[in-house]
Amino acid sequence: MEETIVAPATPAGRGGVSIVRLSGKSAARVGGRLCGELPEAWSFKPCSVCDRTGSFIDSGLVVFFAAPRSYTGEDVVEIHCHGNPLIVDSVISAAISLGARVAEPGEFTKRAFLNEKIDIAQAESVADLIAAQTSSAVVAASASLSGEFSGVINETIDRLIEIRVLVEACLDFSDEDSVAVFDEESGTVKFALKKEIEDLEKILKGSLLGSKMRDGVRVVILGPPNCGKSTLLNYLAKEDVAIVSDDPGTTRDLLRVTMDLGGLPVEFVDTAGLHEDTSVGVELEGMRRALASLDTADVVVLMSCVGEKFDVPLPASCNSIRVFNKVDILSKEGGDESSLFISALTGEGVDVFIKSVFSSLGVGVGVEVPLLARRRHLDFLEKSLGFLWSSLEALESGSDLVIVAEELREAQKSLGSITRPVSSDELLGSIFSRFCIGK
């Protein structure tokens, strides 16, 4: 981390202000050459920004954060200039000519991690905060950034260490002593292990929801023409949710609308257009294709008018909800006890429909803001739980204590990988490469 890096900290484009950020050993020297004498740490100063030859680029403000009290833990200089990409480019070129180099994506945050300003889960939440699609996801990402998620994980690690200490202490005795001592302690260890398993299962459940909140879920609506698919989408968009994006889709066949449904970013995919002017057989084939191309669907809604036959063979693993529409003009009939009857026009039954979308995802409506989590976190939580179970089984079956200790060690290691992985350049590379430049 000898090199000093530079990048715009604000998005490309025109606006009131753009910020160019420098971090590293020479940040103060480069910043000083560009902006004149730097202000005291943590304060702003008006400045003229000039290149190395003294040519004027822009007038702005400069702020200096002296190491280690900065985002990266290094000396950081921020230059606030007018929001024009040409000005930003000139400031960056001038910084490069003075010895800085352009930062890689996520490099500022990576330095913050390497300088132990934040742990890896917090670093990830910086990117999640920027990418959050719903206000609940923003709240969840902020909580993770402030260390809540890491806190929960680290507290669990601390308790696992205590259990390990008990087990490992027994390993240090001679065989007979060890058995005698452990007989006394095993009840305590078993009890503590069971409690950790229970708690970790709760954390995993919350994280599962957190990962859905981060990544969003996809709900595909299939149904014959005129059964009310678009009307339902419009109703949801108008009444219950805020449309956060409206994308006509990459193929002409599919309409995708992403909504904030009770805190979860839900992308509804309307397959309207597949069925028009086609015979029934072709329609079904078209729908099968739509479904096949949407194998990432979390939930499939099979919709038709009340009394209308509609069936599509779905993969067994598929979460589906059967919905009959137009109950405002048609009397309820058909379906089974799990079928829903709604009116997409008047909104009757739509609240129950939304609840069922949530419950088929395994979550409740009106998401209590959970821990925003990534697939990576879920994997390590699941791994850790697996090791804890094995440890408990080994303990209960009277296996060698060495096995119990080893499983516990692995459980702790897996949890540790969530917040502070034992340095794996590949893992860090893959995490930070997904950041935007300047973060």
Q: What does the binding site for ligand GDP look like in residue numbers (CB under 6 A)?
A: 223, 225-231, 272, 325-326, 328-329, 343-345
Q: If 0-12 CB within 10 Å is exposed, 13-18 middle and 19+ buried, where does residue 10 land?
A: middle
3-state helix/strand/coil string of 82-141? EECHHHHHHHHHHHHHCCCEECCCCHHHHHHHHCCCCCHHHHHHHHHHHHCCCHHHHHHH
Query: Which residues share a beta bridge with 304?
Result: 324
* 148 or 348: CB nearest ligand GDP: 348
Q: Measured from the CB of residue 359, what is the shortest distance to ligand GDP in angstroms?
A: 22
* 27 or 303: CB nearest ligand GDP: 303
Question: What is the b/e burial string over 407-430, where b = at least 16 CB atoms within 10 angstroms of the residue's CB?
Answer: bbbbbbbbbbbbbbbeeeeeebee
* 223 or 263: CB nearest ligand GDP: 223
Q: Measured from the CB of residue 304, what is the shortest distance to ligand GDP in angstroms?
A: 9
| Paired tokens of 392 | 């408990």
Q: Measured from the CB of residue 373, what is the shortest distance to ligand GDP in angstroms?
A: 35
Residue showing the smallest CB distance to ligand GDP in the complex: 228
* 342 or 392: CB nearest ligand GDP: 342
Q: Measured from the CB of residue 323, what is the shortest distance to ligand GDP in angstroms?
A: 11
* 199 or 308: CB nearest ligand GDP: 308
Q: How far apart are CA 124 and CA 372, in angstroms?
A: 10
Q: How far apart are CA 91 and CA 85, in angstroms?
A: 10
Q: How far apart are CA 296 and CA 17, in angstroms?
A: 40
* 276 or 400: CB nearest ligand GDP: 276
Q: Measured from the CB of residue 345, what is the shortest distance to ligand GDP in angstroms?
A: 3
Q: Measured from the CB of residue 219, what is the shortest distance to ligand GDP in angstroms?
A: 15
**Pick from 321, 326, 324, 230: nearest CA to 273:** 230
* 130 or 329: CB nearest ligand GDP: 329
Torsion angle (degrees, nearest 10) of CA 31, 22, 148, 163: -110
Q: Measured from the CB of residue 333, what is the shortest distance to ligand GDP in angstroms?
A: 15
